Amino acid sequence: MSDIVIKAESISKQYILDKYGRYYSIRDYISETPQRIFHQVSRRAKTKSFWALKNISFKVERGEVLGVIGRNGAGKSTLLKILSRIMPPTRGRATIHGRVASMLEIGTGFNSELTGRENIYLNGAILGMKRKEINSKFDQIVEFSEIGQFIDVPVKKYSSGMYVRLAFSVAAHLDPEIVLLDEVLAVGDLPFQRKSLKKMKSIAKDEGRTVIFVSHNLSSVDSLCNKALLLEKGRVTAYGKTREVITKYVTGFMPKKTPISKMTSREGTGKIKLMDFWIEDQNHKKTAFVRSGDHCFFVFKYACPKKIKGETVDGGFTIFSVLDQPLFSHYLSYTRQEIRNLPVKGTLFFEFPKFPLARGEYKIGISLATNGITADIIPFAAQMSVQDGDFYRPNVTLDQSNPPFFIDGKWITG
Amino acid sequence: MKDSEQTIIIQAKTNPLKINWKEIWESRDLFYFLTWRDIKIRYKQTILGVLWIIIQPLVSMVIFTLVFGNFAKIPSDNIPFPIFVFIGLLFWNFFSAALSSSANSLISNENILKKVYFPRLMAPVSSTFAHIVDLIPTLIILLGLLVYYNVRLTPQMMFFLPVLLFILLVWALGIGMFLAPINAKFRDIRYILPFFIQLGFFVTPVVYPTSFFGGSLRFFRVINPVAEAIEVSRSGFFGTRPMDWFIFGLSTLFVLVTFLIGLYYFRTQEDKFIDIL
């Protein structure tokens, strides 16, 4: 038997847009009747509709964590609502094997008049727990929520932090085989956010548990999910390995490439100006991409409007992940190589004996300074793509899925 | 976990006749907590709390006795007016409260329905059943009145009281299941319904006897099971008229048909109302 737990076959959801929006009254209905009949008779009835989801198909195997990403209104929540059986699809079908818990928000059904204790039972039951189950997990829930002595106080007297902590704790103690999660991560103050993130990770990583995780937080998708699905306007535009899907999503936002010399998003005195940047392979040939472990060079071409006299020139670059997290930098000053008497025009090379980054897309920021004062800084000067390579052993490609770095070093055994 | 091999199929159309009884049975804890919540909330915010459900019927009994018994001199088939009107109010209040709760059950549970799946029938069912608790003090008062007026609680009435209340509960649920999805779509039902309930109070023999118009409203009682319940109780306690099994049977059948229609309609609307809630 195949181990596909969730199978979605061309799920589509159509919404009819009528001018009344959500509320509709019999009074309106009656007064509109002549108009409606006229429209039907003259066959001009045009109902505006739009497809919130169109032909969504995917399969999730047991134990897999699927991340669903996309911009607001891409249909992520609609997809989750359909899979949770809150609303039916207009077309298509999905098959799910196992006990499902959906967490589309925390604190569903919390009632402010009831005490914390009563809400744990009510919310637990709404989320699909049996009374026995809640009884046995009750102490854990209270302990995790850090509510303590306030457990018998009506939740309307809780601070908003206490409220979300309690709500999260109930949801976090569900024990289903399949979890549908919608950005309920990271609530409360910073320590509790860390705690809840850790808990979510342990839920997602738990053996045999299948998770569909909808989030805007790309780095948590990156660290939690094996696979990802990118939705754009209700359609799947990318589906596959998480890193690749995220890259596709993020590069969609990146501005069109302009030559570095003409870039305007730069700051500094302008005493030195970066004119161009490219990457060369070990034979000093320009290359479009590098492989992990490659011997390669970053090449910086600069020009100065005037000859710089008596000032020390420093410069370097920082590599960022697509999520704008700085990964590492290198400046002339790091290795005490600042330049005195810089020629008016020229090129600088930075040599990587072994390129240390794993497969993916990266951004490069470049800056140049004279006497410690920024002359030219371009936060996002270039983008580079890295492919799988043979960092550790010649001609042996290592597929390192999540961590972004390779590191030189060795094990000492025996 | 033993139920790990359950398979859920999600598709556009659900068959309204195919009710997943297993799933409903498995949601019994949820049913319990939803009902319990409704009861708890209802009495938590009132100053007098539980006392209120005792005071309310007593006060209305006194007022109705004064207005209709003493001033308007409405006949009561020679039954002492306080207990006569109390029996009427008992059934009417129970029915109307259960009906308005079940008709509003989708709107009042909107926030949960939109965020979690559970058998949707739980919403009207739990809202209706929450009213059973209101009966406890009312029935105690009835018992007191029976003792006060020296009426014997026959085994026959011990049987009929709960049966009649249950029939009314089923009727309220049936109409409620029919109205709840309409209520979700047309928000003014919420304001129209109280008006019709008010109207129902006057066409139901709560403050007057069934013999008020001559006869005993025999066939009217078929389509108004509340009238039937009141008639059966009054004549059962005071022996004013013999038990009319034929009408009772027809009326019960009418309730059953209403219930099934309500259930069927609710099921056909189940996949639609989330979009409009």
Residue B95 lies in a domain: yes
Q: Report in angstroms the alpha-carbon separations of B155 from B96, B138, B168, B227, B277.
A: 27, 19, 21, 22, 47
A150 closest CA partner among A138, A160, A162: A162
The answer for residues whose C-beta is within 8 angstroms of residue B239's C-beta and 6 or more apart is: none
Domain ranges, residue B75 = 27-38+48-276
B39 touches chain A (CB under 8 A): no
Q: Helix, strand, coil shares of chain A as percentages rounded to 5?
A: 25, 35, 40
Residue B109 lies in a domain: yes
> What does the pLDDT read at residue B210?
87
E-assigned strand segments in A104-244? 178-182, 210-214, 227-232, 235-241
CA-based Rg of chain B, rounded to a whole angstrom? 20
Q: How many domains is chain B partitioned into structurally? A: 1
Contact between B115 and A86 using a beta-carbon 8 Å cutoff: yes
Residue B69 lies in a domain: yes
- List, as one string, the DSSP characters of A352-377: ESS--BPSEEEEEEEEEEETTEEEEE
Instruction: Please write the tens of the pLDDT for every residue from A382-407.
Output: 888 888 788 888 777 776 667 888 88
B224 closest CA partner among B79, B91, B78, B87: B91
Residue of chain B whose Cα is closest to the Cα of A131: B29
| Cα dihedral B100, B106, B111, B113 sign | positive
- Distance between CA atoms of residues B204 and B201, nearest Å: 5
Q: Looking at the whole model, is its pTM more than 0.80? A: no
Contact between A126 and B274 using a beta-carbon 8 Å cutoff: no
Assigned token pair, B241: 């008229």
Q: Chain B: nearest CA to A347, how far in angstroms?
A: 60
Residue type at position A259: P
Assigned token pair, A131: 């009374």
Q: What are phi and psi of A230, to 5 degrees?
A: -105, 125
The answer for residues whose C-beta is within 8 angstroms of residue B46's C-beta and 6 or more apart is: B52
Q: Taking CA A384 as the corner, what is the angle to CA A382 and CA A387, rounded to the nearest 5 degrees?
A: 180
Q: What is the dihedral of CA A312, A313, A314, A315, to 10 degrees?
A: 180
- Distance between CA atoms of residues A284 and A349, nearest Å: 10
Identity of the residue in A83, A86, A100 whose CB atom sits nearest the CB atom of B114? A86
Residue of chain A whose Cα is closest to the Cα of B11: A93
User: In DSSP terms, which residues pair with A279 in a beta bridge?
Assistant: A298
Residue B12 lies in a domain: no
Instruction: Please write the tens of the pLDDT for every residue from B60-79.
Output: 899 999 998 888 888 888 88
Residue B89 lies in a domain: yes
Classified as helix, coil or strand, A394 is coil
Residue B231 lies in a domain: yes
pLDDT along chain B (277 residues), means of 10: 65 80 87 90 72 82 91 87 93 94 92 88 93 88 92 88 96 96 85 92 91 82 93 90 91 96 93 78
Phi-psi label, residue A105: left if phi above 0, alpha if psi -120 to 50, beta otherwise: beta
Instruction: Please write the tens of the pLDDT for every residue from A71-113.
Output: 888 888 889 999 988 888 999 999 999 888 888 877 788 888 8
Residue B162 lies in a domain: yes
Q: pLDDT averaged over chain A?
A: 84
Residue B11 lies in a domain: no
Assigned token pair, A334: 């790091």
